Amino acid sequence: MQFGVFGTGMVGQALASKLVSLGDRVMIGARNRGNEKAVTWTKAMGSLASQGSFADAARFGEMVLNATSGTVSLEVLNSAGAENLNGKILIDVSNPLDFSAGMPPTLTICNTESLGEQIQSAFPHIRVVKALNTMNAEVMVNPSLVPGAHNVFICGNDAQAKTQVAALLERFGWPSASILDLGDISSARGTEMYVPLWLRLWGVVGTGHFNIRVVSA
């Protein structure tokens, strides 16, 4: 399968590298073709990897992952072009974190809305699935870094799209039982608003290799 990955940062590279390691072809997208980090990554990853603009990556991908900073994600998607994304699944991994006032960051959107919803609303023909935004990039693609069972959440309006994303998460190493479907895209409010707690927990736990497990009677 062919994937487009928006974002050349830690999260984008972790996702793109995992996909290549699974044998998929991946184009990593940046604001401009020839982005230095994208070129370096492509050279390191070999023949399955390529780089281009956001629009290039959108055209290339049969499924697309948004790993850009949440504060620029809508602008990135506009740059990628609805015509290159419509009908496709977009896995939105981003969080609308504002670091401009230092640590801890605040959210630029929350409570009555979420970035996942804003993306779905701005691009009604993209099949948005919010996922993986509640953990460290290394844990996203290697859940066994955290011992025992722990959860990943998916949110979206399109049930078939969520099934396909769950299948991809299983390829990443997530046991089927650990993938919790929280409902429609408005449930992204829950997973995005969890991030401030996640940041506090990171400070307490002392490693990014942690996650939460939902335990019930």
What is the binding site for a second copy (CB under 8 A)? 106-107, 110-112, 145-150, 153, 180-183, 187, 189-191, 193-194, 196-201, 203-205, 207, 209-217
Q: Which is nearer to a second copy, 81 or 105 (CB)?
A: 105
* Shortest Å distance, C-beta 181 to a second copy: 7
Question: What SS3 state is found at 148?
Answer: coil
Q: Which residue stretches of 112-158 are H helix?
A: 115-122, 137-141
* Shortest Å distance, C-beta 18 to a second copy: 18
Helix axes 36-45, 10-21, angle to 10 degrees: 20
* Shortest Å distance, C-beta 60 to a second copy: 33
Amino acid code (one letter) for 176 = S
* Shortest Å distance, C-beta 147 to a second copy: 7
Q: Which is nearer to a second copy, 74 or 109 (CB)?
A: 109
Q: Which is nearer to a second copy, 34 or 104 (CB)?
A: 104
Q: Write down how long the chain is.
A: 217
In contact, 113 and 120? CB cutoff 8 Å:
no
* Shortest Å distance, C-beta 127 to a second copy: 20
Q: Which is nearer to a second copy, 82 or 145 (CB)?
A: 145
Distance CA 154, CA 141 (A): 15
Q: Which is nearer to a second copy, 75 or 98 (CB)?
A: 98
Question: What SS3 state is found at 171?
Answer: helix
Distance CA 137, CA 28 (A): 16
Decide the pairing of beta strands 106-107 and 127-131.
Answer: unpaired
